[in-house]
């Protein structure tokens, strides 16, 4: 298993390097001349030249890339073109928000999907309810769900504050109360998706002989479901959780926007619309690294959960 982790880490490094390069050059191509973008169409050639000089845009792309990588290794991701703020600073401000939102949401979605699809006794009544919830989670767009929640819990019932997000520094209670609706909103889709994957696998596992053997030992249906079926059916969910968390390092744009959360998703969107090259690049890198790291973690978790792989 250790060798597997080391091997995966070693392959992850070139992947990250290759994706940075790809990202760097494609962003350069897509966004075009940064100086022209920043100064607008009517800018004089002199002004553009001055800007090119200042940021080094006139250097060959490869040289620019080399400089970017060298700086990135020192934790310097450049300055935002629009706010002149340090990019690494902007990112480290956003990441905790996004990570927290992601963790709560995926945790809620995965545990609800697993538990609700494992409980044996009420199964017949529960299956219908869970299917409906899956359907809602997958089909209802996040902004609609978010707004409906605000309407229900803030406007109508008045249980939760509607005025956006509060940092931890406002107190844990304030912070967590404002976390509820975003988490519900974001987890809905993942609940549906995990549920479908888990349920399909669970049905397969339930047909396997060792389930009948476990029942023949005299174990209760609950014990058979949770102790014998669940660990065998959970593997694809682990992989899926890894993929989802990786993707979410780029932020949950819609949820963050609806609930005014300062996460990476919003940072990314405003950077793209403002042609803020260093920020776009930095968030892109974050997503690439996030995806790779989360997939690796998922593989490790998968291996731990599956003795068949663990001992080969």
Partner 1 sequence: MSSSPIAGNDSLVAVRDLAVRFATPAGPVLAVDGVSFDIMRGETLALVGESGSGKSTAALALMGMAGLSGKAAIEGRIALRLKKGNECDVNRLSARDLRQVRGNEIAMIFQEPMSSLNPVYTVASQIVEAITEHTKTTSAAAHARALELLHMMGIPNPAKCMISYPHQLSGGMRQRVMIAVALSCEPSLLVADEPTTALDVTIQAQIIALLKRVQTRTGMAILFITHNLGLAAEIADRAMVMYAGRMVEQGAVAEVFRNPRMPYTQVLLRSLPRLGRPREPGQKLEAIPGNVPSALKRPSGCAFHPRCTFMVQGQCDEHAPVIESCGPGHAVACLRWREIAAGRAA
Residues of the shown chain interacting with partner 1 in the complex, contacts defined by CB under 8 A = 208-210, 212-220, 228, 231-232, 305-308, 311
Identify whether the C-beta of residue 143 lies closer than 8 Å to the C-beta of residue 254: yes
What minimum distance in Å lies between the beta carbon of 216 and partner 1? 5
Token pair of 181, please? Answer: 């609706």
Q: Is the Cβ of residue 83 or residue 306 nearer to partner 1 in the bound state?
A: 306
d(CA 97, CA 102): 9
Q: Is the Cβ of residue 157 or residue 216 nearer to partner 1 in the bound state?
A: 216
What minimum distance in Å lies between the beta carbon of 214 and partner 1? 7
Q: Is the Cβ of residue 289 or residue 306 nearer to partner 1 in the bound state?
A: 306
Within 8 A by CB and 6+ apart from 170, the residues are none
Q: Is the Cβ of residue 211 or residue 296 nearer to partner 1 in the bound state?
A: 211
Token pair of 186, please? Answer: 């974001």
Q: Is the Cβ of residue 232 or residue 247 nearer to partner 1 in the bound state?
A: 232
What minimum distance in Å lies between the beta carbon of 231 and partner 1? 5
For residue 29, the number of C-alpha atoms closer than 13 Å in the C-beta half-sphere is 7
- Is residue 85 helix, strand or coil? coil
Token pair of 140, please? Answer: 């209802």
d(CA 234, CA 108): 15
List the one residue out of 57, 58, 66, 87 whose CA is nearest residue 20.
Answer: 66
> Can you name the residues that pair with 86 across neighbouring β-strands?
79
d(CA 241, CA 223): 25
Q: Is the Cβ of residue 94 or residue 205 nearer to partner 1 in the bound state?
A: 205
What minimum distance in Å lies between the beta carbon of 221 and partner 1? 8
Identify whether the C-beta of residue 61 lies closer than 8 Å to the C-beta of residue 21: no
What minimum distance in Å lies between the beta carbon of 309 and partner 1? 10
What minimum distance in Å lies between the beta carbon of 213 and partner 1? 5
Q: Is the Cβ of residue 55 or residue 302 nearer to partner 1 in the bound state?
A: 302
| Cα dihedral across residues 295, 296, 301, 305: positive or negative | positive
What minimum distance in Å lies between the beta carbon of 115 and partner 1? 18
């Amino acid at each position: 298993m250790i060798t597997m982790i080391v091997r995966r880490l070693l392959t992850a490094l070139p992947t990250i390097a290759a994706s940075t390069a790809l990202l760097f050059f494609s962003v350069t191509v897509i966004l075009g001349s940064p100086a022209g973008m920043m100064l607008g169409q009517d800018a004089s050639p002199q002004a553009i030249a001055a800007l090119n000089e200042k940021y080094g845009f006139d250097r060959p792309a490869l040289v620019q890339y080399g400089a970017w990588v060298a700086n990135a290794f020192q934790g310097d991701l450049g300055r935002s073109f629009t706010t002149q703020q340090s990019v690494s600073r902007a990112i480290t401000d956003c990441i905790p928000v996004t990570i927290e939102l992601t963790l709560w949401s995926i945790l809620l979605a995965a545990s609800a999907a697993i538990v609700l699809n494992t409980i044996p006794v009420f199964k017949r009544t529960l299956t219908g309810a869970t299917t409906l919830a899956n359907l809602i989670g997958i089909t209802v767009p996040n902004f609609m769900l978010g707004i409906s929640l605000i309407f229900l819990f803030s406007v109508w019932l008045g249980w939760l504050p509607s005025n956006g997000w509060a940092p931890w520094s406002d107190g844990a209670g304030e912070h967590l109360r404002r976390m509820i609706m975003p988490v519900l909103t974001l987890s809905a889709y993942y609940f549906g998706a995990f549920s479908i994957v888990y349920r399909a696998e669970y049905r397969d596992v339930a047909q396997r002989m060792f389930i009948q053997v476990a029942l023949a030992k005299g174990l209760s249906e609950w014990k058979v479901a949770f102790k014998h079926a669940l660990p065998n059916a959970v593997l694809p969910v682990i992989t899926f959780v890894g993929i989802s968390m990786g993707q979410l390092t780029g932020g949950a744009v819609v949820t963050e926007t609806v609930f005014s959360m300062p996460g990476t998703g919003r940072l990314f969107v405003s950077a793209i619309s403002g042609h803020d090259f260093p920020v776009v690049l930095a968030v892109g890198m974050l997503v690439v690294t996030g995806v790779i790291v989360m997939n690796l973690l998922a593989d490790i978790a998968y291996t731990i959960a599956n003795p068949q792989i663990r001992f080969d």
